[in-house]
Amino acid sequence: MDAKETSSSCNHPSWQSPDGSFIKTILEKGSGVDKPKECSICKIFVDPLSISSADSCTIKGFSYPTGCWFQAELGEGETPLDCLVDQCLETMLSGEVCQVETAKGMKFKLRMASFENGKEPWEIDTNEKIQRAMRDHEKGGKAYREGCIEVAERRYSRALRLLACIPEEAVKERITLLANLAACDLKMGRMSEADKRCSRVLEKEPGYVKALYRRGMARAGMSDWKGARKDFEALLRLDPANKEAQRELIKAREGEKKEQLKISKALGKMFI
């Protein structure tokens, strides 16, 4: 995981994560050159600094234990704060101690005593890949329904990577995961990414109703009213009773009319 170097106090080097979700300040340097990868087993200690008591229990926001040493499989975090721990672990060396400050102001100290690397995807047999991918898909769905979009996105992405080299039997599952990632994009306000992912799904499966709806929503979010209208109309040809698509189609048509009116007015002024 790449990191961006920032200024720090007390001569401790600091880095900001590429997505801006946290700043890591190294308090004690680790040793060696290797860093944990996905599925590595890490021996860690999480110490929440902005919460007064951390007595060997799970602090609200973490599913990982706090205030005690434990073994965590990197990538298995269940909450957004767990995901930040996982992201930070990907940048750490054995023996490293750092302080992490999240974009929302939460602070915690993270120690990593050691780690053992898990299997690389190419080292895992096909059946195990499928089982792991299905588990990540299921847990991603649970996280999405609970509103933990970052966790869901991480799970769906990992499932997709596991299935990347599996033959035709995994095609439908990959399509579903891409559509689910588009739903995460929408929740995170990444309209362009949602549009692109849905387009990839629809290239493979033109009648995928959820992808049509999500691409329509993404295009509406970018004020591409014509594109949104076409998607909702295509969806309603497949599912005429879809009330959500009916409602969004009305909005798209209204948006398209307003856009055309603005263009007409702008063109009219050119000849005054």
Selection from 184, 128, 129 nearest residue 156 by Cα:
184
Residue type, 129: K
Question: Can you give the pLDDT at residue 269?
Answer: 66
**39 in any annotated domain:** yes
Question: Can you give the pLDDT at residue 126?
Answer: 87
Domain at 47, CATH number: 3.10.50.40
Same domain flag for 19 and 104: yes
Considering 57, 86, 116, which residue would you say is the last residue of a domain?
Answer: 116
Same domain flag for 102 and 15: yes
Domain at 211, CATH number: 1.25.40.10
Same domain flag for 110 and 14: yes
Q: What is the pTM of this model?
A: 0.80
Question: Can you give the pLDDT at residue 38?
Answer: 82
Question: Can you give the pLDDT at residue 250?
Answer: 98
CB 72 within 8 A of CB 92: no
Same domain flag for 9 and 111: yes
Same domain flag for 112 and 196: no
**65 in any annotated domain:** yes
Question: Can you give the pLDDT at residue 24?
Answer: 96
Question: Can you give the pLDDT at residue 168?
Answer: 72
Question: Can you give the pLDDT at residue 10?
Answer: 58
Considering 71, 86, 116, which residue would you say is the last residue of a domain?
Answer: 116
Domain residue limits at 204: 191-272
CA-CA distance, 202 to 231, in Å (whole number)?
11
Same domain flag for 10 and 110: yes
Considering 51, 85, 116, which residue would you say is the last residue of a domain?
Answer: 116
Selection from 103, 59, 104 nearest residue 82 by Cα:
59
**130 in any annotated domain:** no
**132 in any annotated domain:** no
**170 in any annotated domain:** no
> Residues 82-121: pLDDT tens digits?
999 999 999 999 999 999 999 888 899 999 999 998 777 7
Q: Which residues of the chain have pLDDT under 50?
A: 1-3, 7-9, 52-58
Planar angle of CA 226, 227, 231, nearest 5 degrees? 115
Sheet of strand 107-116, all strands in order from the earlier edge strand to the far edge: 4-6, 14-16, 22-28, 97-102, 107-116, 41-48, 69-73
Strand partners of residue 107:
101
**258 in any annotated domain:** yes
Same domain flag for 23 and 108: yes
Q: Please give the tally of structural domains in the chain.
A: 2
**161 in any annotated domain:** no
**139 in any annotated domain:** no
Same domain flag for 198 and 101: no
